[in-house]
Amino acid sequence: MSEYHDPSNVINPEHADHHIITPVTYGIVFATLLVFTGITVGAAYIDLGIFNPVVALAIASFKAVVVILFFMHVKYQSNLIKLTVAAGFFTFLVLITMTMSDYISRAWGLW
């Protein structure tokens, strides 16, 4: 550990100033999540065949991205944290894709 002063905060970027999010931004995020919850409920009543789970997962993924960006403050973090979160989200998408391909390839479905 070095004992000198680092005014540009290069050595410890996790100690950077925190970004203050206004209540208006939280209100917009809340309204967005409510609208997409309504879209999720509406999509549940529409018969899309084999695309029902795909649409539901797409809406849920969008809502998860909104929560990650604003409630977890990832939007205002360093590029390393953004890359880490993106890698986790990419892993999630790969796992969902593999699960959906297994689900669709089974013979007991309606397809």
CA dihedral of residues 31, 37, 39, 42 (deg, nearest 10) = -140
Nearest C-alpha neighbor of 12 from the set 24, 1, 20: 1
What pLDDT score does 77 carry? 84
Which pTM does this prediction carry?
A: 0.68
What pLDDT score does 83 carry? 92
For 16, residues 6+ apart whose C-beta sits below 8 A from its C-beta are: 9, 78
pLDDT confidence band for 21 (50 / 70 / 90):
confident
